[in-house]
Structure formats: C-alpha cells, structure tokens
C-alpha cells in the first residue's frame, strides 16, 4: 500500500510515542510490515459492501467514531509505514462535534454535490499519527470509486485556523534565529477551531474528489506503472513521470532546486534562511502552495482547498516571511494570476461537473 493521499503528522505526537507496539486483536505484530501488507490487501475497510449502511445516509450524516474495521486498517497502515502510533476510535465531545458539523454545513452546496457520491464518510480516531487521512474504497470490480476520510479528534481539539496553518507551513524549515513565517487563512474574527477543521477537511475532500476522476495517477500505483501522463490533465500541467527511476518530477525542477528537499511534518530538510528563495522559486511555478509541490495528489488537494476557500468562499490566504522583523517575502493565493490560470480553468470546470 502506498502512502495514502494525505497524512498530516503532528510532530509532537511522533517523538513521544513508543516504537512498534503490539495491539491486542490486531492480526499483525507491531513491527511486521509484511503481515500488515498482506492483511491490507482486500481488507474489509476498502470494500464497498462494508459501507452500504453509511452510503444509505445523507452525506452530512456520514460522520462518527471510526468503525472497528477502519481502526484495524489504519493500524495496519501505520505498521506498514513504520509509524509508532496505534489509533483507536474516538467519540467527539459536543463542542467538537458542533464545530465539525458547522465546518461541513458552511461549505458551498456544490462541494457536497461533487463529493457526495464518492465519500463513504468522515470518521474520527485518536492517535492517528496525523491530522487527516484519506484512502480508497474499491467497488466489486476492484476499481477505486469511493474514499473514507479519517480525522484525529485529539489533534483537531486545540486548533485555531491561523496557528494551525502557520505551524504546518513552518514544518519544512528548521527554526532559524531572526526568521518567521506566518500563514493567514482567516480574518481575526473568524480565526477559530471550526475554520481550522474546515480547511483541513477541504484538503481531504480534494483527495476524495480525485477518486476515479483521472485528475492525477491513483496513489496506489507506482510511477513506473503510469503509462500516459496525458490521461491526467491536471497532473500534466505540473508533473513528469520518470519510469526508470520510478518517481515523479515537476516541470519546474530546473528552476526550483528546493522542491525535492521540501518535506512537511517529518523533519525539516530546508533551513530557515532558505524560506525567501524557496518562495521566490514557488512563484515561478503553477503550484498554489509549497505543500502542493511535494506530490501530485497533494497538488490537487491543495489546489482544490485553496480554490474553494479563496474563490468560492472569499476567505484570505497569505504567507508572510519576516527576517529581523521586516517582511522579506510573501505569497498570496494564485487564483486570478496567469501562473495558475490553467489549473483554475480545470477547477472551474470540475466544480461545474464539466471536467
């Protein structure tokens, strides 16, 4: 199993957890990756029949504690990836549940029309080892046609929109004296937990929307298995396939040397002093955010979240980098700018279901 669409790791959880725990009831020991890989093949959580009851509900009601088969599946995925966390189902307290429902209700109606067919539900755990996670559900013919979203209730509980975005966007850079990077995705009056959850959810819904849509290659295939980039028009605007090396590149790599050192969440590879040049390079690409430049699936999820948030919902999105207190670089959402025009056109067609 490939790394799922998104696993946004809260760093403070990673360093405190013990390694390779065995969990009673799991079919694999804590360090047995081969067992986990086998157990994940045709796992119940990835079969459409498992979700029949959820799919009979209106999409806004497909939320709740993660069912046992889903908890087992994400535990196996953590074993496979060597992550130490062993998630368990979470029941939301009334305040957090109200914020999740509010975040969902406030999204434009056309978004729910787009994802309703593809989303088996939004399910909550604690100890995910990340904020959000999306993966495929396969139909009876073995095609990925739907997806589930898993969110970590404990990670969401203390968040606020701007602090969360600022934390995330700093993770590729080692701290450096005198440098500060701030992200602003909400005005002061809206800088709350509900809107943090909404932005996190929008990114995951972007992954759900990509399922079966030929937007980018499926994330359960290796790059060497992709025979035609042209089949995926959104992907083709930014990405290249190196089948011999079995990896994706970007069309901008010759002028964007920092891209391959951009690693979110897992340990910074860039220095704080690289912030200014990294964002200068980013402006000569069609990636709407730095995270979008890390992988094809996250390019689309970031583009979708940013487009819905900024264009459809008229919210702010800005990165500001300061050195010794003085602004030295900034990045705004690219919608309306020539550099993102082709992606914007595809997103507009997608929202109108004309992709």
DSSP β-ladder status, 173-174 and 270-271: parallel
Span from 1-9, 50-58, 90-98, 330-338 in contact with Zn ion (CB under 5 A): 1-9
Contact status: 298 vs Zn ion (CB under 5 A): yes
Contact status: 274 vs Zn ion (CB under 5 A): no
197 to 216: interface string for Zn ion, x by CB under 5 A: --------------------
Span from 3-11, 35-43, 166-174, 313-321 in contact with Zn ion (CB under 5 A): 3-11
Residue 6 or 92: which CB sits closer to Zn ion? 6
Q: Which of 64, 305, 256 is nearest to 297 (CA)?
A: 305
Contact status: 226 vs Zn ion (CB under 5 A): no
Are the CB atoms for 274 and 173 separated by under 8 Å?
yes
CB under 8 Å to 176, separation ≥6 — which residues? 271, 272, 273
Q: What are phi and psi of 247, to 5 degrees?
A: -150, 160
Residue 164 or 179: which CB sits closer to Zn ion? 164
Helices (H), 116-257: 153-156, 161-170, 193-209, 233-236
Residue with tokens 């402006």: 283
**Least CB distance from residue 21 to Zn ion, whole Å?**
26
CA distances from 120 to 24, 45, 282 (A): 27, 10, 35
From candidates 1, 6, 114, 125, binder to Zn ion by CB under 5 A? 6
**Least CB distance from residue 298 to Zn ion, whole Å?**
5
**Least CB distance from residue 343 to Zn ion, whole Å?**
17
Residue 32 or 87: which CB sits closer to Zn ion? 87
Residue 87 or 206: which CB sits closer to Zn ion? 206
From candidates 10, 301, 333, 346, binder to Zn ion by CB under 5 A? 301
Q: Which of 132, 128, 155, 117 is nearest to 5 (CA)?
A: 132
Decide: helix, strand or coil at residue 131: coil
Residue 201 or 275: which CB sits closer to Zn ion? 201
Length of the chain, in residues:
355
Interacting residues toward Zn ion by CB under 5 A:
5-6, 298, 301
């Amino acid at each position: 199993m490939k790394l799922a669409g998104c696993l946004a790791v809260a760093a403070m959880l990673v360093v405190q957890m013990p390694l390779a725990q065995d969990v009673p009831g799991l079919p694999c020991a804590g360090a047995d990756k081969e067992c986990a890989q086998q157990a994940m093949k045709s796992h119940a959580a990835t079969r459409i029949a498992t979700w029949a009851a959820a799919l009979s509900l209106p999409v806004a009601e497909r939320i709740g504690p993660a069912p046992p088969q889903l908890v087992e599946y994400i535990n196996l995925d953590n074993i496979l990836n060597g992550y130490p966390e062993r998630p368990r189902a979470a029941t939301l307290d009334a305040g957090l549940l109200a914020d999740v429902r509010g975040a969902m209700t406030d999204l434009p109606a056309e978004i729910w029309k787009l994802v309703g067919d593809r989303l088996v539900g939004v399910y909550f755990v604690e100890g995910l080892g990340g904020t959000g996670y999306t993966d495929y559900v396969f139909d009876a013919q073995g095609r990925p046609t739907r997806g589930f979203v898993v969110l970590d209730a404990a990670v969401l509980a203390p968040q606020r929109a701007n602090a969360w975005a600022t934390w995330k966007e700093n993770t590729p850079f080692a701290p450096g004296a005198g440098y500060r990077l701030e992200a602003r995705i909400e005005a002061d009056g809206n800088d709350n937990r509900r809107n943090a959850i909404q932005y996190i959810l929008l990114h995951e819904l972007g992954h759900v929307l990509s399922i079966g849509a030929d937007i980018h290659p499926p994330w359960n295939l290796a790059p060497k298995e992709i025979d035609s980039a042209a089949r995926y028009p959104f992907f083709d605007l930014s990405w290249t396939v190196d089948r011999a090396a079995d990896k994706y590149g970007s069309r901008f790599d010759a002028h964007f040397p920092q891209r391959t050192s951009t690693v979110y969440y897992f340990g910074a590879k860039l220095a704080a002093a690289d912030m200014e040049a990294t964002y200068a390079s980013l402006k000569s690409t069609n990636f709407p955010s730095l995270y979008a430049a890390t992988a094809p699936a996250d390019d689309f999820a970031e583009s979708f979240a940013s487009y819905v948030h900024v264009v459809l919902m008229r919210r702010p999105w800005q990165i500001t980098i300061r050195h010794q207190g003085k602004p030295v670089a900034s990045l705004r959402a690219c919608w309306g700018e020539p550099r993102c025009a082709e992606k914007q056109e595809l997103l507009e067609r997608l929202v109108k279901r004309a992709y």
